[in-house]
């Protein structure tokens, strides 16, 4: 990944480039799909790995995500989301589906409680401190109250339900919902002008 | 607990809702433009972070993925039904979402009003006991699908001047199940036709939902034989913005208790 000041992702050229790749992919162009993979794989893998942690499982799910992008390409609707948002949404959902079905199989142990809260804090600190992180993203995350940041991190980056968030932080469910909601609204306001 | 359904939009956008609330919200989403816009916007916001959390996958994965897609057919673009529904929710892997056999807590004021609407319907059916209504409904379904006059009724509904044919989209993209609803508002009847549907346990039925502004209103139930259905059902006299199908306990539910397996907006 580059250390460009300006992320290419939020820009119109990024969207246009990916959209034109998708147009070729719709015709079954596998070479275009390879290019799409190169563009999106780090983003997708990053999202999936944050949620799943496990490397092997993350690879599996990343593969599922890309096969899905291929299968669904003709159904992609540019009026609903940019190609990048579309891919990230599918990546997050598939990772979350996987982690929850794993959870259903073996309920999380209690000690997981402590470690995940700590990891949550790490994830965001890491993002904020990472060199590549755009000033804007960093500022948006930093604008959250510590409580909101924690809740948003657990819910989004780690793919927890609000109920899990409440349990992990020992707060009422309503409070967890409010923190996540308020945190996301704040991020939206902070980053909104770019959208 | 009185939460406005609209307030669940941010939680839905980041996949943070509980499985039991998911269905209810997805049905709401299919008719709520405000939430649809909010979900789209928030997904774009969080996608902005993908840059900061990006991580290079192992190089070997590229070849694996490319050979996998080379073997994978693409789905057709033309899926008129359900096009208004949130695409991501449609593609949710239903098999991973446990069927909520437990009681759903009402998540909103609207849920209460949905229950009211359903109760009203039950009164209109002049079968005050839900169980009695369920049995009657079951009899109706079997009666209709076996009776010799049935095909006549089906063709009457299908050829009604006001009949609207809606092809429903399956929630699980993998399945080759199909389902369509032909609705005659004048007759207060629908014809449900489908194939490739899962067989249910004796305790379950498929239930039709009216998708309206603010949620879903439960309607008639039906069963399948060898995965197929072709039958006439009486439905309420009301408008709808679309259809949803879930699997419910016999007699149907007041609020959906399992994921939406088919849906379409009109
Ligand atoms: Zn809404």
Residue A52 contacts B, CB cutoff 8 Å: no
- The answer on B60 and B182 residing in a single domain is no
- The answer on B51 and B103 residing in a single domain is no
**Looking up tokens 């004048």, which residue turns up?**
B186
Between B87 and B237, the more confident residue is B237
* Overall residue count recorded for chain A in this entry: 195
Question: With 80 as the cut, is the pLDDT of residue A68 above it?
Answer: yes
Each residue's pLDDT tens digit, B231-253: 888 888 888 888 888 888 888 88
- The answer on B190 and B104 residing in a single domain is yes
pTM strictly above 0.90: no
pLDDT at residue A154 in the model? 92
Q: Report the first-to-last Cα separation within chain A, whole angstroms.
A: 22
Between B56 and B233, the more confident residue is B56
Between B168 and B11, the more confident residue is B11
B77 within some domain: no
- The answer on B157 and B253 residing in a single domain is yes
Between A195 and A127, the more confident residue is A127
Between A178 and B246, the more confident residue is A178
Distance (Å, whole) CA A45 – CA A66: 10
Domain boundary among B34, B69, B104: B69
pLDDT confidence bin for B201, thresholds 50/70/90: confident
Between A63 and A6, the more confident residue is A63
Question: With 60 as the cut, is the pLDDT of residue B142 above it?
Answer: no
C-alpha B107 to ligand 1 mean position (Å) = 13
Q: Any idea which of A146-155, B98-107, B156-165 has the lowest mean pLDDT?
A: B98-107
Inter-CA distances, A83 with A5, A39, A113, Å: 22, 11, 35
pLDDT confidence bin for B97, thresholds 50/70/90: very low
Question: With 90 as the cut, is the pLDDT of residue A37 above it?
Answer: yes
Distance (Å, whole) CA B182 – CA B193: 8
Range among A158-167, B45-54, B230-239 rated most confident: A158-167
Average pLDDT over residues B216-240: 83
Residue B44 contacts A, CB cutoff 8 Å: yes
Read off φ and ψ for residue B237, nearest 5 degrees.
-90, 90
Structure tokens at B263: 């849906």
Q: Any idea which of A93-107, B31-45, B148-162, B198-212 has the lowest mean pLDDT?
A: B148-162
Interface of A with B in 79-98 (CB under 8 A): 80-82, 84-85, 88-90, 92-94, 96-98
Question: With 70 as the cut, is the pLDDT of residue B135 above it?
Answer: no
Distance (Å, whole) CA B183 – CA B134: 21
All residues at 6 or more sequence positions from B229 whose CB lies less than 8 Å from its CB, including other chains: B145, B179, B192, B193, B194, B195, B197, B206, B222, B223
B132 within some domain: yes
Beta pairing partners, B237: none
Taking an 8 Å cut-off on Cβ atoms, the answer to whether B65 and A67 are in contact is yes
Domain boundary among B37, B69, B101: B69
Question: With 80 as the cut, is the pLDDT of residue B104 above it?
Answer: no
- The answer on B258 and B153 residing in a single domain is yes
Q: What is the mean pLDDT of chain A?
A: 84
Each residue's pLDDT tens digit, A86-125: 999 999 999 999 998 877 666 545 445 445 555 555 666 6
pLDDT at residue B152 in the model? 74
Q: What is the CATH number of the domain that holds B40?
A: 1.10.10.1320
Q: What is the mean pLDDT of chain B?
A: 72
B148 within some domain: yes
Secondary structure (3-state) at A36? helix
Are residues A137 and B51 in contact, defined by beta-carbon separation less than 8 angstroms?
yes
Secondary structure (3-state) at B17? coil
Distance (Å, whole) CA B231 – CA A183: 49
Q: Domains in chain A, please, with CATH?
A: 3-107 (1.10.1740.10), 143-191 (1.10.10.10)
- The answer on B148 and B252 residing in a single domain is yes
B81 within some domain: no
C-alpha B115 to ligand 1 mean position (Å) = 18
- The string of DSSP letters for A120-179 reads HHHHHHHHHH-TTS-HHHHHHHHTS-HHHHHHHIIIIIS---HHHHHHHHT--HHHHHHH
B/e letters for A156-180, b = 16+ CB within 10 Å, e = fewer, are bbbbbbbbbbbebbebebeebbbbb
Question: With 80 as the cut, is the pLDDT of residue A3 above it?
Answer: no
pLDDT at residue A160 in the model? 94
Distance (Å, whole) CA B163 – CA B132: 30
Question: With 90 as the cut, is the pLDDT of residue A155 above it?
Answer: yes
B227 within some domain: yes
Q: Any idea which of A145-159, B105-119, B215-229 has the lowest mean pLDDT?
A: B105-119
Of A33, A44, A97, the CB nearest to B93: A97
Of B10, B44, B77, the CB nearest to A195: B44
Q: Which of A15, A45, A159 to mutate to test the interface with B (most CBs of B within 10 A)?
A: A45
Each residue's pLDDT tens digit, B168-192: 877 775 456 777 888 888 888 888 8
Range among B10-24, B77-91, B203-217 rated most confident: B10-24
- The answer on B229 and B190 residing in a single domain is yes
pLDDT confidence bin for B196, thresholds 50/70/90: confident
Of A73, A81, A180, the CB nearest to B10: A180
All residues at 6 or more sequence positions from B118 whose CB lies less than 8 Å from its CB, including other chains: B217, B218, B254
Nearest alpha carbon to residue A36 among A5, A8, A69: A69
pLDDT at residue A21 in the model? 96
From B86's Cα to the closest Cα of chain A, the distance in A is 9
- The answer on B239 and B138 residing in a single domain is yes
Query: B42 contacts in A (CB within 8 Å)?
Result: 184, 188
Query: A97 contacts in B (CB within 8 Å)?
Result: 92-93, 96-97
Distance (Å, whole) CA A87 – CA B178: 27
Nearest alpha carbon to residue A64 among A83, A80, A45, A77: A45
Helices (H), B97-187: 109-124, 130-146, 150-158
C-alpha A58 to ligand 1 mean position (Å) = 33
Residue A99 contacts B, CB cutoff 8 Å: no
Distance (Å, whole) CA B124 – CA B140: 16
All residues at 6 or more sequence positions from A164 whose CB lies less than 8 Å from its CB, including other chains: A154
Q: How many CB pairs under 8 A join A and B?
A: 199
Between B110 and B175, the more confident residue is B175
C-alpha B31 to ligand 1 mean position (Å) = 8
Question: With 50 as the cut, is the pLDDT of residue B123 above it?
Answer: no
What is the chain A residue with the closest CA to B3?
A: A174
Between A130 and B112, the more confident residue is A130
Residue B4 contacts A, CB cutoff 8 Å: no
* Overall residue count recorded for chain B in this entry: 266
B79 within some domain: no
B225 within some domain: yes
Query: A7 contacts in B (CB within 8 Å)?
Result: 48, 51
Inter-CA distances, B236 with A111, B85, B98, Å: 52, 23, 30
Average pLDDT over residues B101-121: 36
- The answer on B108 and B205 residing in a single domain is yes
- The answer on B126 and B58 residing in a single domain is no
Nearest alpha carbon to residue B212 among B130, B117, B133: B117
Its domain, for residue B131, covers 92-265
C-alpha B244 to ligand 1 mean position (Å) = 17
C-alpha B223 to ligand 1 mean position (Å) = 31
Question: With 70 as the cut, is the pLDDT of residue B59 above it?
Answer: yes
Distance (Å, whole) CA B7 – CA A129: 32
Secondary structure (3-state) at B198? coil
Domain count along chain B: 2
Quickly count: other Cβ atoms within 10 Å of residue B70's Cβ: 11
- The string of DSSP letters for B210-246 reads EEETTEEEEEEEE--BTTBEEEEEE--S---SEEEEE
B78 within some domain: no
Q: Which residues have CB atoms below 5 A from the ion given as ligand 1?
A: B 6, 32, 34-35
All residues at 6 or more sequence positions from A167 whose CB lies less than 8 Å from its CB, including other chains: A113
- The answer on B112 and B43 residing in a single domain is no
- The answer on B108 and B47 residing in a single domain is no
Taking an 8 Å cut-off on Cβ atoms, the answer to whether A133 and B17 are in contact is no
Read off φ and ψ for residue B69, nearest 5 degrees.
-70, -30
Max alpha carbon distance in chain B (Å)?
66
Interface of B with A in 96-155 (CB under 8 A): 96-98
Interface of B with A in 48-67 (CB under 8 A): 48-58, 61-62, 64-66
């Amino acid at each position: 990944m580059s250390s460009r000041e300006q992320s290419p992702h939020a820009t119109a050229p990024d969207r246009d480039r990916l959209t034109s790749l998708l147009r070729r992919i719709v015709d079954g162009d596998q070479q275009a799909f390879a290019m799409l993979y190169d563009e999106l794989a780090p983003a997708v893998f990053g999202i999936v790995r944050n949620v799943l942690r496990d490397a092997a499982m993350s690879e599996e799910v990343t593969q599922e995500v890309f096969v899905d992008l291929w299968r669904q390409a003709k159904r992609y609707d540019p009026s609903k989301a940019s190609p990048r948002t579309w891919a990230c949404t599918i990546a997050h959902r598939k990772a979350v589906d996987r982690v929850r079905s794993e959870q259903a199989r073996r309920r999380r142990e209690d000690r997981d409680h402590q470690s995940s809260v700590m990891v949550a804090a790490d994830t965001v600190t890491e993002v904020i401190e990472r060199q590549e992180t755009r000033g804007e993203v960093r500022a948006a995350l930093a604008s959250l109250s510590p409580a909101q940041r924690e809740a948003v991190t657990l819910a989004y980056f780690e793919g927890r339900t609000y109920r899990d968030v409440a349990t992990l932080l020992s707060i009422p469910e309503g409070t967890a919902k409010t923190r996540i909601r308020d945190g996301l609204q704040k991020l939206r306001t902070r980053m909104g002008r770019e959208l | 607990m009185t939460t406005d359904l609209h307030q669940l939009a941010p939680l839905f956008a980041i996949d943070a809702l509980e499985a039991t609330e998911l269905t209810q919200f997805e049905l709401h989403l299919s008719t709520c433009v405000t939430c649809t816009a909010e979900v789209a916007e928030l997904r774009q916001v969080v996608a902005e972070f993908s840059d900061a959390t990006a991580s290079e996958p192992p190089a070997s994965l590229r070849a694996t993925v490319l050979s996998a897609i080379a073997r994978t057919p693409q789905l057709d673009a033309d899926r008129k039904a359900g096009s208004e529904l949130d695409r991501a929710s449609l593609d949710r892997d239903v098999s991973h979402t446990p069927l909520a056999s437990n009681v759903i807590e009402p998540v909103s004021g609207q849920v209460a009003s949905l229950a009211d609407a359903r109760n009203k319907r039950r009164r209109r059916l002049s079968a005050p006991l839900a169980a009695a209504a369920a049995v009657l409904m079951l009899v109706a379904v079997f009666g209709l699908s076996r009776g010799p006059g049935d095909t006549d009724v089906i063709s009457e509904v299908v050829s009604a001047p006001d009949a609207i044919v809606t092809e429903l989209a399956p929630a699980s993209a993998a399945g080759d199940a199909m389902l369509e609803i032909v609705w005659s508002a004048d007759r207060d009847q629908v014809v449900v036709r489908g194939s490739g549907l899962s067989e249910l346990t004796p305790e379950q039925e498929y239930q039709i939902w009216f998708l309206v502004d603010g949620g879903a209103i439960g309607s008639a139930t039906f069963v399948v034989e060898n995965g197929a259905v072709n039958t006439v059902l009486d439905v309420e006299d009301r408008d709808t913005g679309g259809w949803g199908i879930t699997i419910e306990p016999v007699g149907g539910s007041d609020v959906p208790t399992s994921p939406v397996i088919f849906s379409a907006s009109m």
